[in-house]
Structure 1
Amino acid sequence: MDIKHRDPNEIMKLSRLGSFHQSKLSFLRSFIREFKNWDYKNNLFELDLNGNGSAIYSFSRKDRVYSLVCFSQYIDPDERSDRVIANKWDAAFVLYDGIPSTKDINRLRKNVPKQELGRVSCSELALSRANKSVRVFDHVVEALSQGTQPDKKLLNKVGYLYRTTAVYGSGKFGLADRFRIKDRKEIYGPFRLEMMLVYLVRQFTFDQVNHIAKSKNPKKAVELDLDIARNLGIGNSTGLGMAPFIINHPTLLHNWIYSRETALKEIRSIEKVDQEAFNHFKYCLDKSKAMMESWQTDSQFQNHKINLLKQGLVQFDQFLEKEFSIKDKYPWNNIYIWASNNLQDEALEYIVSMMMEPYDDIINPLINNMSSDEEKYFTIPGHKKISDLRSILEKNYKSFLEIDFNEKINNTNFWFISKNKAEPRIANRYEDFGGDLEQPLAIARDIKQLYEKIILEEQTSSISNFLSKNDEFRHVIRRAFIVEKCPYSEIQDNTIGDSLVPIDMLRLKLSFFGAVKFDPRSDKWLRICMFQGAPLPDDLKNYDDHWVYKN
């Protein structure tokens, strides 16, 4: 059976991309698989009675060492904010390349807590900050100090002690540029160092509550139960700053989606499925349902999607029981065809993620293809003709060419960079000031304008000749030639229309990170949880890859 990759014009709609879930391809899971045999160590732990001070954690193997340097401090409750305009946090972190000296630690202590206002060096690889979930953190400390374990119901509801509000890498604020380290095999997978930082921050939060509880009541305090700790992750508050990333990195986006679509294609192409593989799939599916019950949000938008997921899985269970047979040829394809015909996107894409679980041999080779050498795609083939470009636009951007951008509903918003924090934001061009500062993120509109321009040009003329007179189209011409080679590189939606739901863009990226329990606080920002259920550092050498379904 000749099964094809799914059509990008279908898959790259934001409503579909915003229904993706974590999978075996997710970056935090591939990070754990890569670093499971590295040596973990708590190198330094110097906190005062209130939990403020410094700590260092490291992963090492042979001559390579990565060290997380942590700085925690007291902040006034009025200063605690997850918003990007905040300038103080309960804790700040930096991932150091090697083992930091005392001089390095002192330098970092002066700069890392300042985050954007500080300055780090090319010896540092990633930077972050985090705030306590105060209600949960204080409850855990109080319980432990009294010799009891905290309330599991409360912990399950929230899922973490701290939440990060940003994780920076690749050249930000003086951090090492990726070209310096990209050839290290252990970080071939995307965002692997950022995942390491978040994972080690999680361990710091456990050590900190244990330390404060012990300091508060030395004779009576107990440590946090390890099973309870494993069931806690790290929260994250994510806003619009993340959204343009998937527009600005088209080849990287393609590699992520293409890897997922290739995995699905290969799995659907398996003619005979053995019972062990199917049982593996069913085990993960059944275990994952418990996670849904602890997925809580006040968002009407998200609760609707959760209900669609639950309803879809009930239908799917009935299908497996009454209509499906593993003895039929191409059983995974039969499952996929049924799901695509009967389920909404939320449940369909959930099942797609689950179908990957039995197949390490398919998934693992794809992970190393999920990064991108973007410079290879930067050069525009100026020798090609206008007719070549026109064909690409008509083939790959058909839906864009049908949009009338003279209608306000299709041209409502504009993206800009905020002055205070240099972060992307979105505004209504008919109600807000600043339209003259618009960033080139309106790809659909710009493609349409390009098309309307080139259909009036001499079709045998070269691209280089056209660009010499129309340089304002350079960015979308480059994208057009990229999408010709990388069909999943372009979101097939209007990112400035009034129907845009920005959190779909956030969820797409976060699903590849491996985030769970999406909790939108508006259509522009949300909270999530990472590493909930993950093995602790001391567990890594004997961990169970199904941990994500056991929380």
Structure 2
Amino acid sequence: MNTRAADIALAPEELGAARGTRHSFARSFLRAAADGGWTVETAHWELDDAGRGTAVYRVRAAGRMFGFAVFATRLAESERTDRVIAGNWDVTACLVEGEVDRSRLAALREQVPHQERGRADARTLVWTRANRSRRFFDYVVDRLASGLQPETSVLGDTAYILRSTAFYSNGKFGMAGFAELGADHPLGAPYRAQMLAAWLLREFSCELAEHCAVSRGPGAARLDERWRRYLGLGNATGLGMVPYVVNHPRVLDAWCTARERPLAAARGRKTRPDGADTERVRELLDRAREYFRERADLHTAPYLPYPELAAQLDELAGLLAEYIRAGTVLGRATEHAWDALYRAARTHGPEACGALEAVLVEPYPELDAEVEKSLWCAEMLRVPVEWDCAALRSVLDSGYRWVDRIEHGDRTYFWFSSANNEEPRRGRRGIDPGESVEYPLDIAAQVAALRADLSTAPDGQPLAEFLLAHPRHRGIIARVGSLHGLPYAEVRANFLAADFLPLHIQRFQLARYGMEHYDPQSTDWLRVVLFSGAPRADELTSTAADDWLYPRKPYPRKP
């Protein structure tokens, strides 16, 4: 079966309906770690009763050793902020190649806690930082210190106790560049180093809470196995992710391909009512229904309330039950039940499709290696000087007709980098300051302007000659020429329009990372959790290491 058309896959509402799948970065990282027999041990632990001090985790992977050094303190509430411009954090950490002995730990301590004001060495892969959750860290410590587990009604929807605010890497502050690692390096795959750092930071978060609780007295409890898995690493995303997909179109194409090809492969599979994959889909669909139903109180606007989404999945589960019972879907015999279920989901809308998609691709690991390989891409754009105007016009006609179907003249907003916040922001044109440093995110408008000038140029005119007369089109021509043949490189949207919803783009990227528990705080940012349901370090080699799609809440055990 063919992949979905770009005009469908790249519609903002389709991107915003994506969810984490087996091909998300978090899942592929942990799968590689489990399959490769990676091990994690605590090499150093020196924290006081308040959780201030240092810790080092040692990771052995494919014959290499990595260290994850953590520097913990406890900020006053007035000092704690999750903004990029913060100067202090409860926790700072780094992932490095090689052993972290005492002398190296001392050297790292001199730099890592300063973050943007520090300097890394060439054996450092990732710097990160996090804060204790204002809502949940002390609550979890208090419960454990009293010999109790957290209450699901308090912690269940968001499920984190540390909230990360950045993962710096790839040459920043003097760190190693990922291009130097190579494909054979255990952390050479895209985002693998960041995912290892995030997973270890999540490991530290649970051990930090337990340490603080045990320090209060011998009656303290430790997190039971359900909470140890369910607690993830908190995160929040803002507007900075939106310009990223425009500025990295080859990455967008690779990420969309990593979504579309497995979905097409699943929909094209022949199925049997008694097949093992059919039973697996039934099991996971039931898990998904409960996942959304038990989060009835989670704020999801402007997206569907989760009980409504659960009801849509109930209908799909009914169709699957019909197939298992009679070999039919909606009364029609079929050997392609997953395609039939997906078509039924389309009648509900993108969110039902996104939730179902994660279930349908789960039983099929055959594409894992191919998907991971496809994520490598070179991002250089160049002007195709060998073209003439006819060639450029042909490419525009074949790949950019979508521009005619959107309102590309709406310039209500502009995007810029805030000097005060050191982050991308969106302003209202004619009202907010910053237009003089506007980002060129108006791809649709640039294409329309190029097409207008190109309409007067003769077919045989060399592109270099055309550019001499119209130099303002150099950037968009380089983009169009370099992306020719990549189906998923352009979001079908006007990023400047009054009705453009940044959350769609953010949610797509978060799904690619593997984040869940989406909690929108406005049209511009949302809270999320990474690694909720994932195995902890001592469970890495278990048979359940890769089975954590749609994690259920850890309700109290019945007596």
- Report the identity percentage: 30
Could you say which residue in structure 1 is the equivalent of 2:375?
370
Could you say which residue in structure 2 is the equivalent of 1:170?
170
Q: How does 1:320-339 map to 2 (within 5 A)?
A: 320-322=320-322, 325=327, 328-339=334-345
Q: CA deviation at 1:230?
A: 1.1
Q: Is the 8 A contact 1:155 1:232 kept in 2?
A: no
Read off the aligned partner of 2:403 and give its amino acid letter: F
Q: 1:391 aligns with which of 364, 369, 394?
A: 394
Aligned residues: 541
Q: How does 1:55-454 map to 2 (within 5 A)?
A: 55-217=55-217, 219-273=218-272, 275-295=275-295, 296-302=297-303, 304=304, 306-322=306-322, 325=327, 328-340=334-346, 342-375=347-380, 378-401=381-404, 403=406, 405-406=408-409, 410-454=410-454
Q: Alpha-carbon deviations, 1:162-192, whole Å to 9, x = none?
A: 1112222222232222211133343354211
Q: CA deviation at 1:206?
A: 1.2
Could you say which residue in structure 2 is the equivalent of 1:50?
50
Read off the aligned partner of 1:440 and give its amino acid letter: P
Q: Is the 8 A contact 1:27 1:192 kept in 2?
A: yes
Q: Give the 3-state SS of the residue equivalent to 2:484 in structure 1.
A: helix
The worse-fitting range, judged by mean Cα deviation, of 95-104 and 29-38 is 95-104
Q: Indicate how the Cα distance of structure 1 residues 270 and 176 shifts in structure 2: closer, same or farther if over 3 A, else same.
A: same
Read off the aligned partner of 2:33 and give its amino acid letter: F
Q: Is the 8 A contact 2:286 2:317 kept in 1?
A: no
Could you say which residue in structure 2 is the equivalent of 1:7?
5
Q: Indicate how the Cα distance of structure 1 residues 423 and 471 shifts in structure 2: closer, same or farther if over 3 A, else same.
A: farther
Distance 1:405 1:529 in 2: 35
Q: CA deviation at 1:509?
A: 0.3
Q: Alpha-carbon deviations, 1:254-311, whole Å to 9, x = none?
A: 1121122111222222234461111111111111223213444335313x35355223
Q: Alpha-carbon deviations, 1:288-335, whole Å to 9, x = none?
A: 223213444335313x35355223212212333447726622222222
Read off the aligned partner of 1:465 and give its amino acid letter: E
Q: CA deviation at 1:549?
A: 3.2
Could you say which residue in structure 2 is the equivalent of 1:547?
548
2:15 is equivalent to residue 24 of structure 1:
no
Distance 2:291 2:335 in 1: 32
Q: Give the 3-state SS of the residue equivalent to 2:186 in structure 1.
A: helix
Q: Give the 3-state SS of the residue equivalent to 1:549 in structure 2.
A: coil
Read off the aligned partner of 2:20 and give its amino acid letter: Q
Q: Is the 8 A contact 1:88 1:114 kept in 2?
A: yes
Q: CA deviation at 1:541?
A: 0.7
Could you say which residue in structure 1 is the equivalent of 2:557?
none
Q: Give the 3-state SS of the residue equivalent to 2:199 in structure 1.
A: helix
Distance 2:406 2:453 in 1: 15
Q: Alpha-carbon deviations, 1:453-494, whole Å to 9, x = none?
A: 211222211223333444432322222123321110111110
Distance 2:538 2:494 in 1: 47
Distance 1:183 1:315 in 2: 44
Q: Alpha-carbon deviations, 1:26-65, whole Å to 9, x = none?
A: 1100000001111111111111121011111132135412
Q: CA deviation at 1:235?
A: 0.9
Q: Give the 3-state SS of the residue equivalent to 1:535 in structure 2.
A: coil
Distance 1:237 1:78 in 2: 20
Q: Is the 8 A contact 1:130 1:162 kept in 2?
A: yes
Distance 1:294 1:106 in 2: 46
Q: CA deviation at 1:510?
A: 0.4
Q: Give the 3-state SS of the residue equivalent to 1:519 in structure 2.
A: strand
Distance 2:206 2:405 in 1: 54
* RMSD across aligned positions (CA): 2.0
Q: Give the 3-state SS of the residue equivalent to 1:158 in structure 2.
A: coil
Q: CA deviation at 1:516?
A: 0.8
Could you say which residue in structure 2 is the equivalent of 1:463?
463
The worse-fitting range, judged by mean Cα deviation, of 471-480 and 514-523 is 471-480
Q: Is the 8 A contact 2:407 2:494 kept in 1?
A: no
Q: Indicate how the Cα distance of structure 1 residues 244 and 133 shifts in structure 2: closer, same or farther if over 3 A, else same.
A: same
Distance 1:184 1:47 in 2: 36
Q: Indicate how the Cα distance of structure 1 residues 243 and 175 shifts in structure 2: closer, same or farther if over 3 A, else same.
A: farther
Q: Indicate how the Cα distance of structure 1 residues 171 and 468 shifts in structure 2: closer, same or farther if over 3 A, else same.
A: farther
Q: Indicate how the Cα distance of structure 1 residues 124 and 479 shifts in structure 2: closer, same or farther if over 3 A, else same.
A: same
Q: CA deviation at 1:405?
A: 5.0
Q: Is the 8 A contact 1:284 1:546 kept in 2?
A: no
Q: CA deviation at 1:364?
A: 3.7
Could you say which residue in structure 1 is the equivalent of 2:555?
none
Q: Indicate how the Cα distance of structure 1 residues 105 and 453 shifts in structure 2: closer, same or farther if over 3 A, else same.
A: farther
Q: CA deviation at 1:515?
A: 0.9
Instruction: Give the unaligned 5+ runs of structure 1.
Output: none
Q: CA deviation at 1:11?
A: 1.2
Distance 2:351 2:54 in 1: 43
Q: Is the 8 A contact 1:145 1:222 kept in 2?
A: yes
Q: Is the 8 A contact 2:300 2:306 kept in 1?
A: no
Q: Indicate how the Cα distance of structure 1 residues 328 and 244 shifts in structure 2: closer, same or farther if over 3 A, else same.
A: same
Q: CA deviation at 1:506?
A: 0.7
Instruction: Give the unaligned 5+ runs of structure 2.
Output: 553-559
Distance 1:465 1:367 in 2: 41
The worse-fitting range, judged by mean Cα deviation, of 30-39 and 264-273 is 264-273
Q: Indicate how the Cα distance of structure 1 residues 172 and 142 shifts in structure 2: closer, same or farther if over 3 A, else same.
A: same
Read off the aligned partner of 1:183 and give its amino acid letter: A
Q: Indicate how the Cα distance of structure 1 residues 285 and 405 shifts in structure 2: closer, same or farther if over 3 A, else same.
A: closer
